[in-house]
């Protein structure tokens, strides 16, 4: 598949990347930590609904790395690596689920969240085997879900609402054109 991306898709990718860097900084200013509120996940998941799968995957992979280099959050090793796999999986899965499989925003979101957590667990297992990282993959995923529950609830409410609003806007815009 040798598809070229539109200017709008590339610009939107850049805006979502910037949001993925700025939003965690804003949350930290109000003492809402990343592992609880999951602010970096929101723009990546939105990218899954708004971008083609390849760009959504790239957005998810690059956001934690760029944020780590620019802000020190997340710590590069091992967290930025784990998060890049997790968020890349989020973006890719949300895009495929919503565009190719035509799932509703809620089902696409839940599917991508599950796939991302599984990918994070597998990444932790890989880092344990290859680099001796002192983490338990099962406990990591369990802890991420329990600690991130407020962020997961925010995502389940905010993201489908925003997707429905954008879809409604697009329908109205195309009907008036």
Mean pLDDT of the chain: 95
CATH number, domain 7-152: 1.10.1760
Reading phi first (left if > 0) and then psi (alpha if -120 to 50, else beta), residue 132 is in: left
- When pLDDT is averaged across residues 127-138 and rounded to a whole number, the result is 97
Could you tell me if 53 and 14 are in contact, meaning their C-beta atoms sit under 8 angstroms apart? no
**Residue ranges of domains in the chain:** 7-152
pLDDT in tens, 138-156: 999 999 999 999 999 999 9
Instruction: Report yes or no: 59 and 91 within 8 Å, Cβ to Cβ.
Output: yes
Work out the pLDDT band at 1, boundaries 50, 70, 90: low
How many angstroms separate the CA atoms of 7 and 4, rounded? 10
Overall average pLDDT of the 144-170 stretch: 94
Burial grade of 25 (CB within 10 A; 0-12, 13-18, 19 or more): middle
Q: What is the mean pLDDT of residues 74-99?
A: 98
Number of H-type helices and E-type strands within the chain: 8, 0
d(CA 47, CA 69): 21
Q: Rounded to whole angstroms, how far apart are CA atoms 98 and 104? A: 7
Tokens of 3: 């598809």
Measure Cα distances from 3 to 51, 53, 94, 151 in Å.
Answer: 13, 11, 19, 34
């Amino acid at each position: 598949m040798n598809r070229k991306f539109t200017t709008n898709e590339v610009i939107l990718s850049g805006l979502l990347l910037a949001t993925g860097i700025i939003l965690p900084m804003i949350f930290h200013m109000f003492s809402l930590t990343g592992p609880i509120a999951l602010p970096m996940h929101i723009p990546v998941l939105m990218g899954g609904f708004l971008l083609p799968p390849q760009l959504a995957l790239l957005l998810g992979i690059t956001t934690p790395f760029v944020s780590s280099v620019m802000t020190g959050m997340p710590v590069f090793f091992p967290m930025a690596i784990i998060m890049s796999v997790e968020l890349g999986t989020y973006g890719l899965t949300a895009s495929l689920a919503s565009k190719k499989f035509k799932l509703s925003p809620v089902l696409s979101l839940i599917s991508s969240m599950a796939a991302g957590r599984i990918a994070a667990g597998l990444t932790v297992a890989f880092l344990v085997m290859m680099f001796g990282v002192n983490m338990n993959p099962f406990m990591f995923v369990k802890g991420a879900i329990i600690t991130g529950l407020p962020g997961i609830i925010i995502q389940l409410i905010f993201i489908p609402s925003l997707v429905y609003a954008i879809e409604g806007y697009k329908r109205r815009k195309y009907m008036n054109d």
